[in-house]
A and B are shown apart, each in its own frame.
Chain A
């Protein structure tokens, strides 16, 4: 069985400070992991993905995430937050097996303080 846990439902940071959104996964198979972003009243946009290549993955808008198998984690980071980063972020697992679900975490709402 596979699952994904986002450890914080809400994170608030000041503009210009680092962002850390935490995600832990559980998967019976070698997983692919993704981060999606959803801006208010918008659809879901892929930020980045890990598919068993490099463990440090760079995405759009300056975000990156590191896959740590020993910790079963895939935390999302950004060195310097921007006001436009305020959104809902979802960690997603998609195991390497057929007929499997793409499973979403419960989401982390990121707020940016001026």
Chain B
């Protein structure tokens, strides 16, 4: 059973489209995250939710909107996709927000905007 699963694994789409990436964790964790990994492998946090409540919202264009229907799910919706949005997006979860606990990561979604 996959602990943190995200779909799709690959996403190729045209500029201007709207797309969503789904994430689910079956670890019973309270906190979920979205990270963006750029072409230089740098990982930057985008959002963090704790028990469905947004607790971290980094400087991310408002075209990106996270949605947490319950604490096991954190989806990422992106409007009006741009070329610069091409990256690998990772979902993660941890038992608490920070708190010295490790995060468990999904396998990533490689988004390519053409």
Chain A positions within 8 Å of B, measured between CB atoms, are: 30-32, 34, 36, 38, 42-46, 49, 51-52, 88, 90, 92, 94-104, 106-107, 109
Contact = CB atoms under 8 A, between A and B. Distances in A.
A33 to B, nearest CB: 9
Nearest to A38: B41
Contact of B102 (A42, A49, A98, A107): A49
Contacts of A36: 105
Nearest to B58: A101
B42 to A, nearest CB: 6
A37 to B, nearest CB: 11
A94 B98 contact: yes
Interface of B: 33, 35, 40-45, 48, 50, 55-56, 90, 92, 94, 96-108
Contact of A94 (B35, B56, B102): B102
Contacts of B108: 42-43
Given A99-B55, A107-B42, A51 B100 contact: yes
Contacts, number: 76
Contact of A100 (B40, B43, B98, B102): B98
19 contacts: A43-B106, A43-B107, A43-B108, A46-B104, A49-B102, A90-B43, A92-B103, A94-B99, A94-B101, A95-B98, A98-B96, A99-B50, A99-B98, A100-B97, A100-B98, A100-B99, A106-B40, A106-B41, A107-B41
B90 A44 contact: yes
* Chain A interface main SS type: strand
Nearest to B42: A106
B28 to A, nearest CB: 18
B107 A42 contact: yes
B26 to A, nearest CB: 16
A94 B100 contact: yes
A48 B56 CA distance: 25
A102 B101 CA distance: 9
